[in-house]
Structure formats: structure tokens, C-alpha cells
Amino acid sequence: FQPKLLAGHRVLVTAGPTFEALDPIRGITNHSSGKMGFSIARAAREAGAEVTLIAGPVHQTTPRGVRRIDVMSALEMRDAAEREARSASVFVATAAVADWRPASHSEQKIKKDGSGQPPVLHFVENPDILATIAQSARGRSGELFCVGFAAESENLAEHAKAKRARKGIPLLVGNIGPLTFGQDDNSLLLVDADGVRELPRAPKLQLARELIAEIAVRLPATKPT
Ligand code: C5P
């Protein structure tokens, strides 16, 4: 009998973009499809974990056996993730969280005022969900293994190493370019304390399974109850 790799673990995954509303009709978002995060949730479930998936606005089917929480904004994602992370042993942050949100949200549609001058939009920075959760987990009993993702348009390895250090996490996964939003194939760069390793180009579900195996070998030997 071969026990499943993540049996006894509770895995939390964030996926997709966030949507930051400007008014009831408009907002800013990004091209994240959620495919990688949904594949990771599926692979974690196949590996025997209890999986909670916090999803921004995406068009993806919920993997079988996965508990899904839908959110829109970064602040909603942060609230849900902080709540769910308390009982998790693994946190994989694949969401493409908007770095900024409009400083104010208009209850009514913002209208052209006839002056020919476009409105000036002000933004405030969103909280870094992964860094915040990784930091608060360090002060709690019971371990939380945190994994981050990075999508960069240049110097991936350098940015990924810096990001891993800045966020205080053991494993950072870089999306090797070209940017693969919505596509089925990807290749990944794993950055940990030992250095850098590549998972060659493959369908996202296969990469997700390989990544789950990489996470499993890095978890503490004693399983949570
Ligand atoms: O700093 P950057 O956005 O490039 O970091 C990407 C990683 O951090 C991803 O794992 C992403 O899910 C996470 N992140 C987050 N909250 C943010 C920004 C990024 O959890 N506000």
C-alpha cells in the first residue's frame, strides 16, 4: 500500500486574476486564466489532500472534490485566504493579484463631464496576500509550507530568487516565458534554498502533478493530524 503523497494535508490555493472595481460597470484586471492554479488544486486533491481553492473571476471548472470559494477583489481574496490559511498545511499562491486598486470606488457610473478632460484615477497598493500569510504563519504553531509564483517578462531567475527572499517563502515557481496566459503548456523554474531547477515544457496538469510531488518531498516528515 502506497499512501498518497499529500494524505492528511490541507492545501489552500489561490488562482486567477482579481478584479478591482472603479464603478458598478468598470474595473481593472489582468489576463490570468486560472488554469495553472486549478490544475494545482486538482493535482493536490488527486494526491489525497483536502483542497480549498480561492478563485478570482475565471472560466474554469471546479476540480472534483475541491472546495471552491469565489472572490472578486484582492481584499476579498486576502480575507478568504487569511481565514482558510489558519487550518492549512500548504499554501500555493498562483493568483495574479492586482498590485493596485482604485483609491475610491464610485457607487454610480463615472460619466463624461463634457469638458473633454478624462478623469484622473488614483490607486492604492493592495496587500501582498502571500507575504502576509507567510509572515503570520511563522509565528504560529503547526507549519504552513508556502509556495509563490512569478510571471516576469525578463530576467526570470534573478527576479524569482529576489521574490523568494522578499516574501520569506521556501519555494518560488517561475513561469518560464513566453507568458502563457490561458494556454495548456507551460514550463516552470523551481527556486529554493538549494538553487534553481527547470521543469521542462509540458501540459499544465502534468506540471501541476510534478510540482505537487516537489512540494510533498519538502514537507516536514510528521504529517498533520
Ligand atoms: O510580487 P509578485 O506579484 O510578482 O508576486 C507573485 C506571487 O505573490 C504570486 O504567488 C502571487 O499569488 C502572490 N501575490 C499575492 N498578493 C499580492 C501580490 C502577489 O499573494 N498582492
Q: What is the pLDDT of residue 108?
A: 95
- Strand 27-28 relative to strand 123-125, pairing: unpaired
What grid cell was written down for 133? 500569510
pLDDT above 70 as % of the chain: 95
* pLDDT, the chain, mean: 93
Length of the chain, in residues:
225
- Which residues fall within 8 angstroms of residue 165, CB to CB, at 6 or more apart? none
Which pLDDT band, with edges at 50, 70 and 90, does 110 fall under?
very high
Looking at per-residue confidence, does 180 or 174 come out higher? 174
Q: Which atom of ligand 1 is nearest to the CA of 95?
A: 12
CA of 150 to the centre of ligand 1 (A): 7
Pocket test for ligand 1, best of 14, 129, 155 (most atoms within 8 A of CB): 129
**What average pLDDT does the segment 96-107 reach?**
96
Residues designated catalytic: 30
Superfamily of domain 10-100+123-218: CoaB-like (3.40.50.10300)
For residue range 139-176, list pLDDT tens digits in order.
787 799 999 999 877 888 999 999 999 999 999 999 88
Which pLDDT band, with edges at 50, 70 and 90, does 87 fall under?
very high
Pocket test for ligand 1, best of 58, 91, 128 (most atoms within 8 A of CB): 128
CA of 219 to the centre of ligand 1 (A): 22
Rounded to 5, what percent of the chain is helix, strand, coil? 25, 25, 45
Which pLDDT band, with edges at 50, 70 and 90, does 105 fall under?
very high
Backbone torsions φ then ψ of 205, nearest 5 degrees: -65, -40
SS3 68: strand
For residue range 205-223, list pLDDT tens digits in order.
999 999 999 999 999 875 5
User: What's the Rg (C-alpha) of the chain?
Assistant: 18
CA of 135 to the centre of ligand 1 (A): 14
60 touches 34 (CB < 8 A): yes
141 touches 220 (CB < 8 A): no
Q: With a cut of 0.90, is the ipTM above it? A: yes
Which pLDDT band, with edges at 50, 70 and 90, does 125 fall under?
very high
